[in-house]
Chains A and B, each alone.
Chain A
Amino acid sequence: MQTLLIVSHPDIIDSGSQQYFLNAIKNEENITIHHLEEQYPDEKIDIAKEQQLLSKHDRIIFQFPFYWYSATPLLKKWQDEVLGEGFGYGTRKKPLDGKEFGLVMMIGVAEREYQAGGEELFTISELTKPFQAMANKLGMTYLRPLSIFQFFYLEEEQKMDYLIQYWQMLMMDKEKSLANREKWLIDQLEKTQNTSAAPNTLRFAIDQIQTNRDKMDELKMVLDDMFLD
């Protein structure tokens, strides 16, 4: 699966959260990082090139700081121009049909405020409706978003938890079942094993994850049989 990560941030060098996540995918072969402000400092978007880039990828992700409940100005301009008439709408062809679409948002306010009774009043799902509608119109599957709240207040372990979710958002199957997450983690551990300082420990851990999976499958079979009786 090829993922196109469209990043928009007017001051990306000074953004600690953007740097933290982007550095963690620098060497991933199946992810194309496409930073709009860097690509188009004069904001003149090459529409044909962008449309071609979209068609080459299976999963399209927008990554941006959540400004006034929406994306950055350049990302909105990109949407207006690249997904314009003849490509995004007004044509029988649906060039993005069947692809996946998702959002990665860096949000400055605490998560608890995004609900009825919170200071922001509305949930992230409500506030991101225009993106959901866009995916729907284009025939794309809308993925669960990754909302990263108040990055700078996070403890190191919490940052790591977000990083795992970020990698999964960009590389893993969209179904986040335990079995899929096990499979994904085993793949990552196997890749890391070659350069690890503790390769045997990683091997044991991989085997144990697999043993646990076999046990769960067995238990599931027994339970299914019991309920059939």
Chain B
Amino acid sequence: MNENEWILEQLNQALQTTDDYYERTLIKACQDMLTEQAKRIDQMEGEMEGTIWSPKRWSE
């Protein structure tokens, strides 16, 4: 489990113990944010890998 996944799990637990509706809303937004960031990082890493392995560079 990476750090992002661990924190998402902790936030899930916090959702179950928090009664305040507005805090729950922020916790959900926080989970969505971490998921969106992880996806963006994945895409950027994929783009980097794709660029490194681009055939354009094979002749260099």
Interface residue ranges, A against B (CB under 8 Å): 24, 157, 160-161, 163-164, 178, 181-182, 185, 188-189, 192, 195-198, 201-202, 204-205, 208-209, 211-213, 215-216, 219-220, 222-223, 226-227
Do the beta carbons of B24 and A160 come within 8 Å of each other? yes
Do the beta carbons of B40 and A201 come within 8 Å of each other? no
Q: Mark B1-23, 1 if CB is under 8 A from A, else 0.
A: 00110010011011001111011
Do the beta carbons of A216 and B28 come within 8 Å of each other? no
> Which of B18, B33, B52 contacts A209, CB < 8 Å?
B33
A contact residues around B23 at 8 Å (CB): 192, 195-197
A contact residues around B27 at 8 Å (CB): 202
Q: How far is the CB of B22 from chain A (nearest CB, A)?
A: 6
Do the beta carbons of B29 and A185 come within 8 Å of each other? yes
Do the beta carbons of A223 and B24 come within 8 Å of each other? no
Main secondary structure of the interface of A (DSSP, over half): helix
Do the beta carbons of A223 and B41 come within 8 Å of each other? no
Given contacts A185-B29, A198-B18, A226-B51, contact A208 B41 (CB under 8 A): no
Q: How far is the CA of A204 from the CA of B14 in the complex (A)?
A: 12
Do the beta carbons of B14 and A219 come within 8 Å of each other? no
A contact residues around B37 at 8 Å (CB): 178, 182, 209, 212-213, 216
Interface residues on B, range: 20 to 34
A contact residues around B22 at 8 Å (CB): 24, 192
B contact residues around A198 at 8 Å (CB): 10, 13-14, 17-18
Q: How far is the CA of A172 from the CA of B45 in the complex (A)?
A: 29
Given contacts A196-B23, A204-B7, A208-B3, contact A185 B44 (CB under 8 A): no
Question: Among B22, B33, B44, which residue has the most Cβ atoms of chain A within 10 A?
Answer: B33
Q: How far is the CB of B60 from chain A (nearest CB, A)?
A: 9
Q: How far is the CA of A189 from the CA of B25 in the complex (A)?
A: 11
Q: Which residues of chain B from 24 to 50 have any CB-CB distance to chain A below 8 Å in the complex?
A: 24-30, 32-34, 36-38, 40-41, 44-45, 47-48
Q: How far is the CB of B56 from chain A (nearest CB, A)?
A: 10
Instruction: Identify 25 residue pairs between A and B in the complex whose beta-carbon atoms are under 8 Å apart, listed by A's number.
Output: A160-B29, A164-B25, A181-B33, A182-B33, A185-B30, A188-B26, A188-B29, A189-B26, A189-B30, A192-B22, A197-B17, A198-B13, A198-B17, A198-B18, A201-B13, A201-B14, A208-B3, A208-B4, A209-B33, A211-B3, A212-B34, A216-B44, A220-B44, A223-B44, A226-B48
Q: How far is the CA of A204 from the CA of B31 in the complex (A)?
A: 12
Q: How far is the CA of A196 from the CA of B28 in the complex (A)?
A: 14
Q: How far is the CA of A6 from the CA of B44 in the complex (A)?
A: 42
Q: How far is the CB of B40 from chain A (nearest CB, A)?
A: 6
Do the beta carbons of B40 and A160 come within 8 Å of each other? no
